[in-house]
Structures are given as C-alpha cells and as structure tokens.
Amino acid sequence: MEPLKLKEHDKVSLESLSENLKGFLSTCRLLKNGYMEPPKYLGLGWKNDTILQASYYIGASWLVENESAIVVTPKMGNIDFVEMFITALAVDSDPEVNYFSRCYGIEFDAPKIIVEKNLCQVTPLILLHYVTLLEKLVKRGLKKGYVNQEDNLNSKIRGRIYVPAHVQQNVCTQRENRAYCRFQEYTEDIPENRLLKKALYFAYRGICSYKSFDKYRVELQSRLNRLFAAFINVSSDIEIYQVARVSHNKLFRHYSEAIHVAKMLLRHFDNSIRNVDREESYETAPFWIDMARLFELYTYSKLNEKYPDQIEFQKKGRTGTCDYLKIAKGNSAERLILDAKYKPYYENDEIGWEDIQEISGYARDKKILAELGWFKNGELNVQDVPPCVVIYPEYGEVNDTFGENLLDNAEVVSDYTNFYKIAVKVPRLQ
C-alpha cells in the first residue's frame, strides 16, 4: 500500500484517507511525546477531531505494521543534510556530541519501508556521527586490556605451557627447543577496539561510495586516515556473535556511545561490507530525525564558533531548559537568553505567543538569571528585562549571520519589551 506522505507540520483530513487507515487512526491514541523521547508515528497528532497534523520529525514509520506506513519529509526542501550534520557535530565537547545521539533513531527490528531514495538521510547521519565520536575517543587514547594469547615460543616460556598442544606440536616432533604457551598480553588489540575498527572500515567505505559526500570527501578521507593510523595495532577480526557481547567499562565512559553507534552502523548494513557499496536503498528500516534538535545543534555550533566561551548550551532552570545563554566575557558585555525554534514561517510572521510565553519564563527564572549574571551587588536586578532572542531557520546562502554583537543583525519583535528574532541560514543543495 502507498504510504501516507506528508511534510513537517502538514495537515491531513481524516476523510481523505482510506477506510482501513481511517478506522485505525480513529481509534488510535496519538499521544504527545515527552521531552526527547522517541516519537510514535513520527509525532503525528490530532489538530482537532477530524484533522491530523505532522510534527517536526522526518523519516518513515509504520502506522499498521506491514500494511500502512507514514513518510514525513522536510518542510524546507533540498536541505544539505551532510553540511548540517558536519556543522552540528563540529563542537568539541562530549555533552553536545552525545546529545546528537538523541536526535535520531532507527527501529532495526521492524519490517522495512519503501521510501523515495532522497529521503534516506539516516546513513550519512550515522556515518558522520560515528566518525566524530571516534575522533573524540582517539584524542583520549585507546583503551588497553589483557588478552589471552597462544604461541609456540622458541627457547623461552611465557605464561603457562599448554600441554596438549605442546605434546602434539613439539614433543611428538622432537622440537625440544620450543614450548607451546598460553599467556596474557596487555594490548590495544581488545574486542572493544576491534569492533570500533571494523565499524571504521564500514564508515570509510560508505563515505567513499555515497554521492552525498562528494563535496566533503577530501576532508573526510583525511579525518578517516588519521583514525586508521590510531588503530594501526588493532585488528578488525571480530565475529558477529562477539559484537553483541562487547560492553563498556565504567572507567572508559567515552567508549559507551562510540560502541553503541558502531553496533548500530554494523547492523544498519546487516554486518556485510558489500551492502555499503549500494547507494541508498529504496527500502529502509523505520527511522526518525528530530529536525528541531538538529537545528538546535547546528545553531549552537554556529554560535560557539562566532562567540567562543560565551555560549552555554541547554541550561536548566526551574521553568524548563533554555537552549542557549550568551554570557558576558572578555570584551563582550552582551548577556542574552536565546532559544532556537525550527519554524521557517517566522521569516514573515511575528513570534508565536506560546514561544513568547516560554522564553519569558526563562527571563524570570532565578536559576537561569544567576547563570546569566543578571545580578548587581549580589542581588537580582529586577529593574531591567533581559534581552530575549528567538533564532529561526531561513533558506539562503550560508554566511556570517552574527555580527560582533549578536543583536547587531537582530530584528526587533514589536509589542514586546527586549524581544528580538534573528535568522540562521540553513544550507541548501545547489
């Protein structure tokens, strides 16, 4: 059956659907997802009793398994996802890279869905995420461990003599100068690192094969070559049944996310490197990409690049979690509350009332104001309202959106005190 095709935030009338799908959705509980929870049915929900509306998730999901699927595509067409992924992953700190893991998901155990070829953005996403995680892991150094080894040694004994093999290979053949030994060796060539290196081969093959990487291939191949150099003493010889048993050590917490994504990468290609050479298939496991969270990370990377050490990400207050704070540091005296809203229509319209309410709550949250430094002589400065900025996406050539001071290029939101909005250009394929 042809899947239900929508764009982000599109509405669809229940009456326009097939009888089977209408009957299913009429009785289906389309609940709102909690913060950062995997979406059910790509976030499809009821606008009213007869109208359904898509959310800000894109991807493919089953409504009725093996019968009816839903496919949601971006509202802003022709987005250069590879550039968005590379930019979003450019921040060199663990919390943001790990946050990226919660921006997408794949349901490997569900039946595959037939989709349009250009929708399958999940493969470049996994590949780039894995390369970034591995780079951060390598900077800290590869984990070492003791590995059981066997060898027929010449004129020395190491560990213990393994009698059955020693008798068969040396005693029976009168090789009196040899001893077949079992011993432990402290090495980087441990199962965890073998798994990571095997997944690295898959990442290299994919980046070399897919056309979507053409523009960035030279840079990415250079990054991959550096990773292979770090794993030069590690084998990639690990069986599929061993992969499931590889776990992480609490002393090496940075391994946890890399191993998780490595397993996901291998499973995505069914553990066969021959599958990597195929350009995106028309069939894909159900997956979702949270465009709002991806835009948050993309914007954070841009802000952090322009205002280093001045941007704090995902600051928790009593009223919620604010996307960014711009703190006064160095030559900059700007102190701003900023929130990213993946709503392209803000280019022409004023800011939605619900967003005004949310950000106004942050501007009165004492915990957030303390982080912002909104105090004088140890007391809260209640005379002035902190400047609040809404950041929204806009098509166009990617350029330097932010000036020396962020508010230099911001547009005033009328009817509200100290409220501004500023567009961040989203990269687009030529």
Question: In order along the chain (430 residues), what is the average pLDDT of each group of 10 residues?
Answer: 82 81 72 63 83 88 86 85 90 80 88 75 89 92 89 89 90 90 91 93 91 89 95 89 72 83 89 68 82 93 91 88 89 89 79 88 85 70 78 75 86 87 86
Specify the length of the chain in residues. 430
Residue 352 has what pLDDT? 84
Q: Is 71 exposed, middle or buried (0-12, 13-18, 19+ CB in 10 A)?
A: buried
Note the pTM of the prediction, 2 decimals. 0.85
Could you give the CA distance from residue 412 to residue 407 in angstroms, rounded to a whole number? 9
pLDDT given for residue 134 in this prediction: 94
Which residue in this structure is represented by tokens 């009785």?
27
How confident is the model at residue 279, as a pLDDT? 56
Place of tokens 């039946």: 111
Neighbours of 265 (CB within 10 A): 22
Helical axes 122-140 vs 81-88, angle rounded to 10°: 20
Tokens representing 164 are 């059955």
For residue 260, give both structure tokens.
Answer: 């998780």
126's tokens: 């996994």
DSSP 8-state secondary structure symbol assigned to residue 281: -
> Rounded to an integer, what distance in angstroms lies between the CA atom of residue 184 and that of residue 160?
10
Q: Domain coordinates of the chain in residue numbers?
A: 4-113, 121-143+190-280, 145-187, 307-426
> Residue 182: helix, strand or coil by DSSP?
strand
